[in-house]
Amino acid sequence: MGGPVIHDKTFFFVSGQRWTDRRLGSGVVIRGVPTDEGRSLLRSIAGTRPTVQALLDFLPPAQQAVPGLTAPVVVVGNRFDIPLGTLSGSSNISFDDWQWSGRIDHRFNDRHSFGVRYLGDDQTNSGGGQVTPPGLSTIVSRSTHSLSPFLTSSFSARLFNELRLSYSRRPSNSDGLDPRSKQIPSIEVNELGLIGAANSATRTAIGLNIQSPITRFWNNYQVQDTVALVRGPHVLKFGIDVRNERASDFALVRSRGSLVYNTLQDLVNDTANSGSIVSPLRGGQRVQHYNYTEYFAFFQDEWRFRPRLSFTMGLRYEAPGNVFSSFEVLRQSILSAAGGDPRYDYGGLPSRDLNNWAPRVGFNYRMNRLPGALGRLTGDDQSVIRGGYARTYDHSYYQPAGQVGNSFPFVKVFNLTRNAELARNHSQRSLDASHRRPEHARPHCCLTRLPFPIRRAICSSIRTSTRRRLGADRRLPWDEGDGTV
């Protein structure tokens, strides 16, 4: 929808779109879930134990008992056979998306015009991922908003300029359907069919998966200015581009911990076969923050050398932002909290990459009609030979920095193998962590257990690629538009 606001001066346009999708998702069948009778028996013999409480709170009773299927449990010298059965489930998968845009154009005079563009996209996707047991499906929400005002000026018949400012904002969040699922670590019990730690449709363990929750937030600012100058057979273009990108990222895998028990007896005794939990080192932080600025500049000459032959030559310079620069303050904080222990020092972080020069050359030749039968192939001014060479650089992104920030020496990983006393202490800390503030939920970690030799290698250099092209285009004789082959 659109129309004039001021006759021959100001115009507006708006659009909106609603997109929905509804589906039914099915989960896997778990064989080994305690029945109502089994739950009552477990509650009576070990209901006060934290691991048993977690099992009873987050795993519903079996929908159908399996005759003869039991799990033996010994408590205080007495043996009990816990009846087991099967559990299945389904989920309502929904996707809702609102997209809209707005545009305002204003013409000051024949030489200057102003415009604003706005794009919005809000979407929510729920019910995906794990289905059984219920409440562990994921809800993913994203919201993207972009605003770009620009000013176009024609200072003369040969000199043009466009100034553009841009801002974009994009938060996203991924969490579990049931908020209570974050109160316990990921708990697997192999004998009961509760397996899997990572987010997957086949996961059946209780507690939210180890990759959730995830919260990210981006703010991007951009300034562009492009100038075009016509001088005889040359069309010269040059411009600059400055971008500031700011992001906050919480995506610490296993921040709530994970535990694996082989049998129901191990769960009752709180003797984990393995366990792991990840938390920041003292002086570190759970949320990673990034703030870096990128600079770009280019020059290009389109030269019409002959009526049928033209050349394009250009050079672009790129100074990508250093996504690792934000780690310097964090590195100093961790090193200070460790009393200057060099084993906690990552070492020198990479500096900004400043040698990214991207040249490009190309030509365009419109062919005459060739003699004889070849003339039917080329046609009358309907065939063009094009060729060129260009070097390009990948855009910098913060994912490699995120991997570094989730590794030692910025976080500590506490891993345990089967040992009754250590496993019991670790699992108890993991269960208790859900009831305390995050800064008090970090497990104790012996200095000798930290993997000091293991560090991720980082480099700020941006990948490059080289492109070469040589080809011919032929306009179709019956095509009235721009069709070519």
- Please list the rounded mean pLDDT of every run of 10 residues in the chain (485 residues): 92 95 91 96 95 95 96 95 95 95 95 96 94 94 97 95 97 94 95 95 95 94 97 96 94 92 95 92 91 95 94 95 87 91 83 90 89 74 90 79 85 76 48 40 32 46 79 72 51
pLDDT of residue 133: 95
pLDDT of residue 419: 55
pLDDT of residue 462: 60
* Among the listed residues 91, 26, 37, the one whose alpha carbon sits nearest the alpha carbon of residue 61: 37
Q: Contact, 162 vs 225, CB < 8 A?
A: yes
pLDDT of residue 441: 33
pLDDT of residue 433: 44
**CA 124 to each of CA 11, 142, 229: distance values in angstroms, whole numbers, following the listed order:** 33, 7, 47
pLDDT of residue 439: 34
Q: Contact, 98 vs 123, CB < 8 A?
A: yes
Q: What is the DSSP string of 358-382?
A: EEEEEEEEEPPPPSTTHHHHHTTT-
* Among the listed residues 341, 299, 348, the one whose alpha carbon sits nearest the alpha carbon of residue 327: 348
Q: What is the DSSP letter of 77?
A: T
Tally Cβ neighbours within 10 Å of residue 380.
11
> Rounded CA gap, 353 and 394, in Å?
12
**CA 322 to each of CA 216, 243, 335, 354, 396: distance values in angstroms, whole numbers, following the listed order:** 19, 12, 21, 10, 8
What are the residue boundaries of the structural domains of the chain, listed by start? Answer: 2-359+367-379+392-463
Q: Contact, 275 vs 416, CB < 8 A?
A: yes
Whole-prediction pTM value? 0.80
pLDDT of residue 460: 53
